[in-house]
Amino acid sequence: MIEDAAQGAGASWRGRALGTIGDFGAVSFHHTKNITCGEGGVLTTGSRRLWQRAGQYRLHGTNRAMYLAGEADRYTWNMPGSCTAMGELAASVLVSQLEILSEVTERRRRIAEGYRERLGVLEEKGLARLMAVPSYAEPNGHIFYLRFESEGQRDRVKEKLLELGVESKTHYVPLHMSPQGKKLGYKEGDLKESLRCYKTLLRLPIHGGMSLEAMEYAAGAVIKASGL
């Protein structure tokens, strides 16, 4: 199992860091994620065998790492591979980002908690549902979203928010509706909850550098835009 933990840096599930649950985990440091090195990411595994295979893939399919460690007297091509090692410049940016990961996570979580406190009223009035966080999850504040009753209502709120100077976003097209998903034989209605989620979900602004005042302004705008 390869765990797509692209957005998961700093988050955990039942006490386990995201990216450490599958045979492999992949965490992204793309500039849209909580911490970044421009382009890059990390592949994790708890298996020595998989780690060695991944290590060979990363170096053009060779055992060059073993050669450099003095474990082989020459290196050679053993398997398909690519050149996926992170460059030193990106890695040096990443080191400083890793140092502030817990601070960034904390700031984002504070924004999300602020939204939760201020927007609970929407849930009470039945106008929207807030992102639910189960008790076993420790989120990293990567996103905060609302779910509306219908696509039309979501789109109206999105438009009004923009008029109030607040940009909000929908989320990924479900994979089963992508051209590749269609090629694999899926139809739009096959995964009904994914489809509903896609049509009714709205993400609010959230960022490690966002002030609490900006969050308060955005929350106020959401309340206005929702018709309260």
The distance of Cα 212 from the centroid of its chain, to the nearest Å, equals 22
Query: Which listed residue (3, 6, 11, 154) binds ligand PLP by CB under 6 A?
Result: 6
Report which secondary-structure segment, H or E, holds 42: strand 41-45
Based on CB atoms, which residue is closest to ligand PLP, 14 or 30? 30
Residues that bind ligand PLP (rule: CB under 6 A) add up to a total of 6
Binding mask 9-38 for ligand PLP (x = CB under 6 A): -------------------x-x--------
Residue 4 as a binder of ligand PLP (CB under 6 A): the answer is: yes
What whole-number distance in Å separates Cα of residue 6 and Cα of residue 32?
Answer: 10
What whole-number distance in Å separates Cα of residue 65 and Cα of residue 37?
Answer: 24
Q: How far is the CB of 41 from ligand PLP (least distance, A)?
A: 5
β-sheet bridge partners, residue 43: 26
Asked if 11 and 20 touch (Cβ cutoff 8 Å), the reply is no
Binding mask 50-69 for ligand PLP (x = CB under 6 A): --------------------
Query: Which listed residue (10, 25, 41, 141) binds ligand PLP by CB under 6 A?
Result: 41
Question: What is the biggest distance separating any 2 CA atoms in the chain, rounded to whole angstroms?
Answer: 73
Based on CB atoms, which residue is closest to ligand PLP, 16 or 30? 30
Location of structure tokens 């709120």: 157
Based on CB atoms, which residue is closest to ligand PLP, 27 or 215? 27
Q: How far is the CB of 84 from ligand PLP (least distance, A)?
A: 11
What whole-number distance in Å separates Cα of residue 172 and Cα of residue 7?
Answer: 13
Which of the residues 139 through 168 are near ligand PLP (CB under 6 A)? none
Asked if 18 and 26 touch (Cβ cutoff 8 Å), the reply is no
Q: Which two tokens stand for residue 61?
A: 């399919």
What whole-number distance in Å separates Cα of residue 205 and Cα of residue 210?
Answer: 9
What whole-number distance in Å separates Cα of residue 199 and Cα of residue 189?
Answer: 13
Candidates 2-10, 55-63, 124-132, 198-206 — which segment interacts with ligand PLP by CB under 6 A? 2-10
Binding mask 182-201 for ligand PLP (x = CB under 6 A): --------------------
> In the complex, which residues of this chain contact ligand PLP (CB under 6 A)?
4, 6-7, 28, 30, 41
